[in-house]
Amino acid sequence: MTPEAGGVDAVIDAVTAVFLVLGALMSLTATIGLLRFPDLMSRMHAATKPQVLGLFLLLAAIGLQMRQWWVWPVLVVAWIFQLLTVPVSAHMVGRAGYRTKHLHPELLSVDELEAVVRRSAAEQEGSGTGPASAAGPAEDPELDDVLGLGEAGDGALRGAAGQNLDDRGDGRGDQGEGKG
Amino acid sequence: MKDAVLIITAVVLTLAAAGAIVRIAVGPSLLDRVLASDVLLGIVGAALAIDMAVNRHLNNLFLLVALTLIGFIGSVTVARFVSDRRGQANDS
Amino acid sequence: MSRKPISLRTELPLLIWLVIVWGALWRDFSPGNLLFGALIALVVARIFYLPPVELSGRFNVLRAVPFALVFLAKVVAASFQVIYLAVVKGPKVVNAVVEVPLRSHSDLMVTATGHVLSLIPGSLVVEVDRSTSTLYIHGLDIRDEADAARLRKEVQDTEAGLIRIMGTKAELEALEAETATASRKGATP
């Protein structure tokens, strides 16, 4: 009720207003990116990054408005959950997008994964003439990967490793371990 | 100022949601649609958060926590489904 | 199902995190509630067994705080980069998929690097080769080799920062040796 307190309240309200508007604008940014970018991968950048900042700003606004200390831990937990989950879904969608040729090669200046994929495909074709070696390895890592997803948030990124490249090196052997 | 903020954010979020829905409708592939629906979920979360901050209540706080925690499962599931189907189609 | 026994020490970060979430969700950080939460966390960690995350055992807080601040700044920069590219470049944006070998072979480090990279400007992990610990990164607005080299350096700098925070001693020593030779090379010409 003192003039100082009133001044502080006004400042906090102003900061909150700025945060709210910016947070809403971040959602709009994501949409603009979704509509303007030419291919799936660049749209993915647009869909993930502004959401993280937007939620941060909005949560901070809630924390500033509710003058109760116990709100902050909940807000921090919510944001950390988002930090952990957003890259996982972006990676999974991106990986699926790359595999299913949603990428437009003409929009890429450098593509170093393509050579690896082609080499591994060629090796698979070369060695695939042996009995049952073609069908078996193609199925198993896929299954492992599904199981790997269930481990934890981080497990998705880890379980995803080496699936595409499983016929090179010991990626498959690695995947089996660690599940206990 | 409270009303001004509410109006501005409402307009911005409405535009954003409309754009996301356009991308869901147009989106050339399933993955584009999944991505856009993820953004739409984020916009719903943003609306919940703005409502809480402006009206100073916390009724939806735990809904928001749950959204951030499990919101990604849908897109991960669809991503797996897509890559599996295409993989089999390529093999056969 | 054979279970490797997990020492309490490796489980401790998980337990602390679970107790924090418990306290936050109950809006109650009184000792009694936290103790009960710790009990439940222990039971949960025993029943719902997860493969242990191998920690290096060191965590450098002095390095972690600046890294976190830089990370926050980069999260902000990432959003504004997306705005800029979406509005200015739009459909004409040119991208690249770049292969970046990492120094560390620990799962935790590769995962952490991948997570951080997905949130900072212009990079997104497309594929991970776990056997060689190589990340394939989709970079936004990478027009030529120079941009790709910059992206590669950014990735390796990020990993170096994470190693300085929580890498194993061996990784840290390798990193120090590498930077020492690099700076000597940079000084001589």
Q: What is the ipTM of this complex?
A: 0.84
Report yes or no on C101 lying in a domain: yes
Task: Give which of C119, C117, C122, C113 is closest to C165, Cα–Cα.
Answer: C113
C93 and C24 both lie in a single domain? no
| C13 lies in the same domain as C102 | no
Q: Cβ contact (<8 Å) for A169 and C28? A: no
Task: Tell me the residue range of the domain where C29 lies.
Answer: 8-47
CB contact under 8 A, B83 and A35: no
Q: For residue B53, give the chain A residue with the closest CA.
A: A62
In a domain, residue A158? The reply is: yes
Residue C27 three-state SS: coil
Instruction: List Cα–Cα distances, A37 to B85, C40, C95, C117, in angstroms.
Output: 26, 47, 11, 20
Partner A contacted by B7 (CB < 8 A) = no
Q: Look at A43 and B1 and tell me if their CB atoms are within 8 Å.
A: no
Within-domain flag for C131: yes
CA angle A20/A21/A26 to nearest 5° reads 95
Task: Based on the fold, state whether residues A71 and A119 are members of the same structural domain.
Answer: no
Task: Determine contact: B37 vs chain A, CB below 8 A.
Answer: no
Interface touch A32/B45, C-beta < 8 Å: no
The reply to whether C15 and C105 lie within a common domain is no
**Contact between chains at B32 and A40 (C-beta distance less than 8 A):** yes
Q: What's the total number of domains in chain C?
A: 2
Indicate the residue among A49, A74, A99 that finishes a domain.
A99
Where a domain ends, among A99, A129, A155? A99
Residue at A33 is within a domain: yes
> Is A154 close to C118, i.e. CB distance below 8 A?
no
Instruction: Specify if A105 maps to a domain.
Output: no
Query: Are C71 and C132 contained in the same domain?
Result: yes
Among the partner residues A31, A61, A78, nearest to B68 by beta-carbon distance: A78
Domain match, C183 and C114 both = yes
User: Do the domain assignments include residue A73?
Assistant: yes
Q: C112 and C148 share a domain?
A: yes
Range of the domain at B21: 2-91
Residue C156 is assigned to a structural domain of this protein: yes
Q: Note whether residue A7 is domain-resident.
A: yes
Return the partners of chain C (3 or more C-beta pairs < 8 Å).
Answer: A
Please indicate, yes or no, whether residues A168 and A114 belong to a single structural domain of this protein. Answer: yes
The domain tally of chain B equals 1
pLDDT at residue A148 greater than cutoff 70: no
Does one domain contain both A46 and A88? yes
Q: Is C27's CB within 8 Å of A161's CB?
A: no
Domain check: are C33 and C86 in the same one? no
A44 domain residue, yes or no:
yes
Using the Cβ of A120 and the Cβ atoms of chain B, whether some distance falls under 8 Å is answered with: no
Whether residue A114 sits in one domain with residue A95: no
The domain boundary residue, chosen from A75, A99, A123 = A99
**Does A73 sit within 8 Å of C23, measured CB to CB?**
yes
Q: Is residue C1 part of a domain?
A: no
Mean pLDDT for B37-44 is: 91
CA distance B77 to chain A (A): 9
Digit-coded pLDDT (tens) for C74-121: 999 988 888 888 888 878 888 888 888 888 888 888 888 888 988 888
pLDDT in tens, C19-60: 999 998 888 888 999 999 999 998 988 888 777 777 766 778
Shared-domain flag, residues A10 and A68? yes
- Chain C residue at shortest CA distance from A109: C96
Same domain flag for C25 and C89: no
> Do A58 and A88 reside in the same domain of the chain?
yes
| Contacting partners of chain B (3+ CB pairs under 8 A) | A
Q: Is the pLDDT of residue A118 over 80?
A: no
Does C10 reach chain A within 8 Å, measured CB to CB? no
CA A117 – CA A154 distance, rounded (Å): 24
**pLDDT at residue C142 above 90?**
no
Judge if A11 and A95 occupy the same domain: yes
What percent of chain C is modeled with pLDDT above 90?
10
> Which range, of A114-123, B6-15, B55-64, C129-138, averages the lowest pLDDT?
A114-123
Do A23 and A83 lie in one domain? The reply is yes
Picking from A110, A114, A89, the residue whose alpha carbon sits closest to that of residue C142 is: A110
Helix residue spans in C27-103 (DSSP H):
31-47, 61-84
- Assess whether pLDDT exceeds 70 at residue C68: yes
Element (H, E) at A162: none
User: d(Cα C158, Cα C67) in Å, to the nearest integer?
Assistant: 9
Residue ranges making up the domain that contains A19: 3-99
The three-point CA angle A106-A107-A108 to 5° equals: 95
- Residue A8 and residue A95 in one domain: yes
User: Are A82 and A120 within one domain?
Assistant: no
C42 with C65, same domain: the answer is no
Q: Report how many domains make up chain A.
A: 2
C75 and C161 in a single domain? The answer is yes
Confidence at residue A174, expressed as pLDDT on a 0 to 100 scale: 38
Does residue A116 share a domain with residue A92?
no
Task: For residues A71 and A136, state if they share a domain.
Answer: no
Q: Identify which of A111, A114, A165 has the shortest CB distance to residue C129.
A: A165
